[in-house]
A and B are shown apart, each in its own frame.
Chain A
Amino acid sequence: MAVESRPERETVPVITEEKEVGQDRNILAAIVQSSQDAIIGKDLKGTIISWNYGAEKTYGYSAREALGKPISMLVPRGRHDEVTDFFEKIRRGESIDHFETVRITKEGKSLHVSLAISPIRDKTGRIIGASTVARDVSVRRKLDEDRLRLAAIVEYSEDAILGLTLDGIVTSWNAGAEKMFGFRAKDVTGKSVRMIYPTDRPDELPEIISRIKLGHRIEHNETKRKRQDGTIFDVSLSISPIKDDVGEIIGISKIIRDISGQKQASQYARSLIEASLDPLVTISPDGKITDVNEATVQVTGVLREKLIGSDFSSYFIDPEEARLGYEQVFKEGSVRDYPLAILHVSGAITHVLYNASVYRDADGKVLGVFAAARDTTERKKAEDLLHATSAYARSLIEASLDPLVTISPEGKITDVNHATELITGVSREWLNGTDFSNYFTEPRKAREGYRKVFKEGYVKDYPLAIRHSSGRVTDVFYNATVYRDAAGKVRGVFAAARDVTETKKASQYARSLIESSLDPLVTISPDGKITDVNEATVRVTGVMRDRLIGTDFSNNFTEPEKAREGYQQVFKIGFVKDYPLTIRSTTGKLTDVLYNASVYRDDKDNVLGVFAAARDVTVRKQASVELESSNRELESFTYSVSHDLRAPLRAIDSFSKILVDEHSSKLDAEAKRLLGIIRHNTGQMGKLIDDLLTLSRLGRSEISTQMVEMSDMIKDVFRLLKPSFPGRNIEFVMHTIHDARVDPTLFRQVWQNILSNAMKFTGNRDKAKIEVSSTLDKNNVVYSIKDNGVGFNMEFAHKLFRVFERLHSADEFEGSGVGLAIVNRIVTRHGGKVWAEAKEGEGATFYVELPVSSEAQ
């Protein structure tokens, strides 16, 4: 196909030469143009310089489009080296023949081409370009590929694939055939295929050949063939005619599949079915039995021939239930543990559980139901706890406070213990054999419960409510498991109920307590999320309950970080006490709270979360703020009093003293007397101010108590007071004085005031008598101070311990009117009380009572 354009090789006269050349060119051009092959000229740079009609047809580019363009536009990526090689060969004067490669058309399609390339020379023989003839070989290649693919399929097929002439002579014999029959291809090719036919089937081959000659195909024909070793085996045949291009039948193709394995499998299955102890049946969509096994024959007492074709449902105690059963299978595809009772012709009843499913043909069409029954009669007997358990175990079961029950797969009670009788109010004779679900407020839920056990093997804490025959309801949690026989087969359900009525009541009670709490209560998960809240929390935050739960606890506070630290502390050390936080409600209202919180745990001591109770201390805090501010006011008042009232008083007293001391010569007796009155009064006022300051300090100062030997303190106080009452005849008697736990500094003032009062108010007695004694009982110690002074009218006893209240005129008895108020304040701060008994003119007795608890501490 190489077209060489070397017409001007010889040396000829120019004119002649041109003429000849022109002729040759015309001829050449015609050949080129009419060629179906693409003929392309290009220079040594690869630029296309000629492009024929064939090239247009092959590559899709018109001559105008192609001329002047680089030849590389036809070359697919990755094949450009090819072109470089071609040009190198061309430059050396070599040609390329039958080079099969791929080129790209204008449309971008890959094209298999065969190339022939030759150099183009000028008159002097110098190579100036190349001509290429390309032939499209795509179609040929595709045919080649198909053939190869087919050959591979045939070669690697497990099936035997044979080619035969119409005379039955083997023309091809694949590897599958070699393997299947044992004959090698070379041994059988050209020979009759009869060798693989069993000798007892002499008519088969002629029959097949005659059918094929008529143009028939034979598919899935099951028959037998013979191996080289003489063994006969089951095969399935597919045979078709081989036709030539014009439809003439020229041969036979046979595909032979070995089905001996399949056949064995189904025989094996059948024997298993027959051997099964479970009654097995297949049922047609109209409810007729289509097949049965031996066990079915046994359980019904009906012959196999009579069973097949009869109504499936007619062999059960409840035919309607049986019908519903297989209808359910057709509807839903399967049923599990469907309880039925088969009636034997003799009247014997066999309780069975049916497992059934539909079966389909290869196209998925439902052909019928396959149903397997499991005899539970024997099992039912074994299930009885009385038989199944030892006397010891039985006694344990009976002794259990928890109602225990066994349930058959049909949901019937098979055994109970005494607790079950008590909780249902039904005796065991009546309970056994009845529906388990009958004894619950929600029978459906009870049914779901034991079905769940059969399905999943157990349930835990399944809540149900048992109804007693009297109507009383008991809340229980069921824990139940399936129990099995020795072979591991599920026999029934063992269910134990735990009475949770009290727990439930308690938890409802607790819940109502929680809800009614005025304190905001929350539970917090370890990651700080709120898991539960009460109504008070909803109120204080202004957030709905369901919007609180699951959110961050710390979100609801003015200081989230502090809140976080708070509950983290609880998780760390187990609790917090009086942890101050401020809750911010959605409306912006702030509530000061103190949190008390602790972790709570499950019964295995795992920490589940934090329980936190907040106490609203807004009011308390306000009160304490107010108290604090009023305390501050009082302090600044007493400060002023001590400073500003005492200073001028001191000046009056001091300067009048200076007057008396240093200027007495200038003063007459009357002036001195008047100065004396001034000084006496300033002294009184100074005392009053000091007492008032003492009283005010009493309310504020801390008291610190210790055991005090009271008799010593009293004696000492009396000793120090005595010089203030010069010239007095006072009999001081001390009886038994119990010790007490008091603040010594403060309590000394109690004795000072009471004893000085006693001495003062006995001032007009010739012989004053003061007696101190004490009594002790288990609660209190009581000190009594009795004098024989002027006493007072009990009518005014209630005024005795008030500030500035005086029962006697200042003229009669001096005093600030603060002393007993101080006594009262001090004793009260010790947790005790003071009172007095008196009769006007007959003396008074003052009592100071202190609690023993404080004395004993």
Chain B
Amino acid sequence: MSKFQDVELLLVEDNDNDLELSLRALKKINIANKVHVARDGKEALDYIFQKDKHGVELNRFPKVILLDLKLPKIDGTEVLKRIKMDDRTKDIPVVILTSSRESVDLKKCYELGANSYIVKPFGLEDFVQAVSTAGMYWLLINQPARQ
């Protein structure tokens, strides 16, 4: 796991297999060591809004968040909502990475302010391609609102 200062991408994924495949893809673009992984929605929010041992908010945020929707404890859409409703975090790009191609999910995520929506491709090559492209785009190509 990366040190806090180095983290540029938060990957929220509960499925071990998908997690491994995603990390493989990110390794390809050499950012696997700048990734923090959260295994459920609560863990993701705790990480984003983390405080020091004195309870002081740190206000250090990842540059991009890859978010699965179907998550234990707190659902992905709820995580998205809290990120986008908070003035401090609303500018962080959130990429939905999910198996669902259901239009209700698409509609809801975009309404809540998701920056991108990727349906996990079935084949390995396609999957690796999709995740690495997304990581590359948001971390290297996209100009963020705040440095």
Residues of A within 8 A of B (CB): 635, 638-639, 642-643, 646-651, 653-655, 657-658, 683, 686, 693, 697, 701
Question: Chain A CB within 10 Å — which of B98, B102, B105, B127 has the most?
Answer: B102
Indicate if B123 sits at the interface (CB-CB under 8 A).
yes
Indicate if B70 sits at the interface (CB-CB under 8 A).
yes
- Known interface pairs A648-B17, A655-B17; A639-B123 also in contact (CB < 8 Å): no
Question: Chain A CB within 10 Å — which of B18, B70, B98, B124 has the most?
Answer: B124
- Known interface pairs A648-B17, A651-B17; A643-B99 also in contact (CB < 8 Å): yes
Residues of B within 8 A of A (CB): 15, 17-18, 21, 24, 70, 98-105, 120, 122-125, 127
Q: Return the contact of B100 from the options A639, A651, A655 (Cβ within 8 A).
A: A639
Q: Name the distance in Å between B7's Cβ and chain A's nearest Cβ.
A: 26
Contact B99 A642 (CB under 8 A): yes
Q: Name the distance in Å between A627's Cβ and chain B's nearest Cβ.
A: 17
Q: Return the contact of B124 from the options A643, A648, A657 (Cβ within 8 A).
A: A657
Q: Name the distance in Å between A785's Cβ and chain B's nearest Cβ.
A: 29
Complex CA–CA separation, A37 to B62 (angstroms): 132
Residues of A within 8 A of B122 (CB): 646, 649-650, 653, 683, 686
The 4 A-B residue pairs with the shortest CB-CB distance in the complex, in nearest-first order: A651-B17, A654-B124, A657-B124, A643-B99
Residues of A within 8 A of B120 (CB): 646-647, 650
Nearest residue (CB) in B for A702 is: B103
Residues of A within 8 A of B102 (CB): 635, 638-639, 642, 697
Contact A653 B123 (CB under 8 A): yes
Contact A643 B70 (CB under 8 A): yes
Contact A654 B123 (CB under 8 A): yes
Residues of A within 8 A of B100 (CB): 639, 642-643
Contact B103 A646 (CB under 8 A): no
Q: Name the distance in Å between A743's Cβ and chain B's nearest Cβ.
A: 14
Complex CA–CA separation, A735 to B18 (angstroms): 49
- Known interface pairs A648-B17, A651-B17, A651-B18; A701-B103 also in contact (CB < 8 Å): yes
Complex CA–CA separation, A211 to B63 (angstroms): 147
Given A635-B102, A642-B102, A643-B99, 16 more A-B residue pairs with CB atoms under 8 Å apart are: A639-B100, A639-B102, A642-B99, A647-B15, A648-B17, A650-B21, A650-B127, A651-B17, A651-B18, A654-B123, A654-B124, A657-B125, A658-B124, A683-B122, A686-B122, A701-B103
Complex CA–CA separation, A654 to B124 (angstroms): 5
Name 17 A/B residue pairs within 8 A (Cβ), A-sorted: A635-B102, A635-B104, A642-B100, A642-B101, A646-B122, A647-B18, A650-B17, A650-B18, A650-B21, A650-B99, A650-B127, A653-B123, A654-B17, A654-B123, A654-B124, A657-B124, A701-B103
Q: Name the distance in Å between A664's Cβ and chain B's nearest Cβ.
A: 14
Residues of A within 8 A of B101 (CB): 642, 693
Question: Chain B CB within 10 Å — which of A654, A658, A693 has the most?
Answer: A654
Residues of B within 8 A of A649 (CB): 122
Residues of B within 8 A of A693 (CB): 101
How would you classify the secondary structure of chain A's contact residues: helix, strand, loop or mixed?
A: helix
Residues of A within 8 A of B98 (CB): 643
Q: Name the distance in Å between B47's Cβ and chain A's nearest Cβ.
A: 23
Q: Name the distance in Å between B143's Cβ and chain A's nearest Cβ.
A: 33
Complex CA–CA separation, A654 to B21 (angstroms): 8
Q: Name the distance in Å between B130's Cβ and chain A's nearest Cβ.
A: 12
Complex CA–CA separation, A116 to B79 (angstroms): 120
Complex CA–CA separation, A686 to B119 (angstroms): 14
Residues of B within 8 A of A643 (CB): 70, 98-100
Q: Return the contact of A647 from the options B17, B24, B103 (Cβ within 8 A).
A: B17
Q: Name the distance in Å between B12's Cβ and chain A's nearest Cβ.
A: 15
Nearest residue (CB) in B for A686 is: B122
Residues of B within 8 A of A655 (CB): 17
Q: Name the distance in Å between A52's Cβ and chain B's nearest Cβ.
A: 115
Q: Name the distance in Å between B71's Cβ and chain A's nearest Cβ.
A: 11
Q: Name the distance in Å between B97's Cβ and chain A's nearest Cβ.
A: 12
Complex CA–CA separation, A649 to B123 (angstroms): 10
Q: Name the distance in Å between B140's Cβ and chain A's nearest Cβ.
A: 25
Residues of B within 8 A of A639 (CB): 100, 102, 105
Complex CA–CA separation, A686 to B122 (angstroms): 7
Nearest residue (CB) in B for A701 is: B103
Residues of B within 8 A of A654 (CB): 17, 21, 123-124, 127
Nearest residue (CB) in A for B121 is: A650
Residues of B within 8 A of A635 (CB): 102, 104
Residues of B within 8 A of A638 (CB): 102
Residues of B within 8 A of A642 (CB): 99-102
Complex CA–CA separation, A639 to B98 (angstroms): 11
Residues of A within 8 A of B18 (CB): 647, 650-651
Complex CA–CA separation, A159 to B60 (angstroms): 128
Residues of B within 8 A of A648 (CB): 17
Complex CA–CA separation, A635 to B101 (angstroms): 12
Complex CA–CA separation, A719 to B97 (angstroms): 31
Complex CA–CA separation, A647 to B70 (angstroms): 11
Q: Name the distance in Å between B69's Cβ and chain A's nearest Cβ.
A: 8
Q: Name the distance in Å between B26's Cβ and chain A's nearest Cβ.
A: 15
Contact A653 B17 (CB under 8 A): no
Complex CA–CA separation, A658 to B70 (angstroms): 26
Complex CA–CA separation, A821 to B53 (angstroms): 60
Complex CA–CA separation, A763 to B104 (angstroms): 40
Complex CA–CA separation, A638 to B104 (angstroms): 12
Complex CA–CA separation, A651 to B120 (angstroms): 11
